[in-house]
């Protein structure tokens, strides 16, 4: 278990691993979430989930801008 925790703690970030592609991947992931919300026609969205964390919601809304 300690090995796994060390790997998680010391693993490079996506930005470090893929400096030229990570922003594109982030935007693509957000678009996928929005697409799934649309397919599901669910009234409870990622925006609703993040509403209690204004700083995180601001980050989410800045993706792809």
- CB neighbour list of residue 47: distance below 8 Å, 6 or more residues apart: 57, 60, 61
Q: Which tens digit of pLDDT belongs to each residue from 6-59?
A: 888 899 988 899 899 999 999 999 999 999 999 998 889 999 999 999 999 999
The verdict on pTM exceeding 0.85 is no
Query: Is the pLDDT confidence value at 65 over 70?
Result: no
CA dihedral over 51, 57, 58, 64, signed as positive or negative:
negative
- Give the Cα separation of 60 and 65 in Å (integer): 10
**CA 44-46-50 angle, 5° bins:** 110
- The owner of tokens 């991947």 is 25
């Amino acid at each position: 278990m300690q090995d796994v925790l060390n790997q998680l703690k010391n693993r490079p970030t996506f930005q470090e691993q893929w400096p030229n592609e990570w922003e594109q991947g982030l935007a693509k992931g957000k678009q996928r979430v929005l697409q799934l919300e649309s397919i599901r026609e669910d009234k409870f969205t990622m925006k609703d989930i993040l509403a209690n964390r204004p700083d995180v919601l601001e980050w989410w809304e800045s993706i792809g801008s």
